[in-house]
C-alpha cells in the first residue's frame, strides 16, 4: 500500500513554512528543525527541507552531534552536496563562536527561563536523557556547554569529577546543569534530587557554585533551585 506523499514546503500553509514563520513570530519561536530547514533551503527526492532537517537531527542526536560530525560524514548524507554541507558547517561554527565571543557579547544568564529558552528547542524532543553542563564566569556570562552523559540519569552512575572537569579547566565560577525527560513530564524524581545534592556538595569543595539544575520537558521545565530540591 502506497503511503501518501508528504506536502512539499510550497504546499504547506504560509504559517507552517519555516522562513515565513520566522518573519511572523521571530527566530526564537522556531524549532531547531525549522531553523535548519531555512539553512538547507531545499529538500531532495520528495523530502522537504524540513523533513531533511528532522532526519539529520535524529541521525546525529541533535545540534551537538551535527556540530561534531565531519564534513565528509555530512557530505555522505542523502541530499547534502558540497554547497549544503558547507552552509550547514558554517552556520554551526558561527553558533559555536558565539559561545566564545567577547564578554560583552556573551549570553548572560539571569534566570532559569534564560537557560530553558536556550536548551528547550533542542532537548525537549530527544529520545534519551541528555545531561548538559553550562559553564559561567563570575558575571554569569555563558562560556560554553557540554553534554556529559547520555542515558538514564542515576545518582550511582554520575561521576562528579566528570561534571566539573571542564569547569575546573576553564576556571569557571559557576555551573548550571540540565537534563531532559523524554516522557515530556519535567517533574523531578528522587534520583534527580539526589544528583543535585551530590553536585552542590562537590561544587562547594571546588569553590564552583551549582546555580541550578533544570529539567526540560515538553514546553515545560522545572528549576530544582526554585523548588528548593537538593539545594537545602
Three-class HEC string of 8-45? CHHHCCHHHCHHHHHHHHCHHHCCHHHHHHHHHCCCEC
Distance CA 56, CA 54 (A): 6
What is the H or E stretch that residue 107 is in? none
Give the confidence band of 6 by pLDDT, cuts at 50, 70, 90.
low
pTM (global) more than 0.75: no
Give the confidence band of 109 by pLDDT, cuts at 50, 70, 90.
confident
Structural contact between residues 109 and 214, judged by C-beta atoms closer than 8 angstroms: no
Cell of 105: 557579547
Query: Which domains does the chain carry?
Result: 9-99 (1.10.150), 112-227 (3.40.140.10)
For CA atoms 97, 169, 214, 179, the dihedral sign is positive
Amino acid at each position: 500500500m502506497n503511503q501518501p506523499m508528504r506536502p512539499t514546503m510550497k504546499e504547506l500553509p504560509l504559517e507552517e513554512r519555516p522562513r515565513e514563520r520566522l518573519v511572523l513570530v521571530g527566530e526564537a519561536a522556531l524549532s531547531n528543525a525549522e531553523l535548519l530547514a531555512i539553512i538547507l533551503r531545499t529538500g531532495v527526492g520528495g523530502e522537504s527541507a524540513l523533513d531533511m532537517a528532522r532526519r539529520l537531527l535524529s541521525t546525529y542526536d541533535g545540534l551537538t552531534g551535527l556540530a561534531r560530525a565531519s564534513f565528509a560524514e555530512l557530505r555522505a548524507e542523502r541530499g547534502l552536496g558540497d554547497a549544503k554541507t558547507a552552509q550547514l558547517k558554517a552556520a554551526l561554527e558561527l553558533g559555536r563562536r558565539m559561545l566564545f565571543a567577547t564578554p560583552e557579547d556573551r549570553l548572560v544568564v539571569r534566570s532559569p527561563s534564560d537557560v530553558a529558552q536556550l536548551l528547550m528547542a533542542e532537548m525537549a524532543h530527544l529520545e534519551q536523557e541528555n545531561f548538559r553542563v553550562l559553564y559561567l564566569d563570575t558575571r554569569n556570562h555563558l562560556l560554553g556547554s557540554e553534554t556529559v552523559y547520555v542515558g538514564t540519569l542515576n545518582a550511582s552512575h554520575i561521576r562528579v569529577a566528570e561534571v566539573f572537569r571542564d569547569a575546573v579547566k576553564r576556571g569557571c565560577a559557576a555551573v548550571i546543569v540540565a537534563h531532559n525527560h523524554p516522557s515530556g513530564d519535567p517533574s523531578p524524581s528522587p534520583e534527580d534530587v539526589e544528583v543535585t545534592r551530590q553536585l552542590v556538595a562537590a561544587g562547594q569543595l571546588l569553590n564552583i557554585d551549582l546555580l541550578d539544575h533544570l529539567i526540560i520537558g515538553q514546553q515545560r521545565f522545572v528549576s530544582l533551585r526554585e523548588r528548593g530540591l537538593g539545594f537545602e
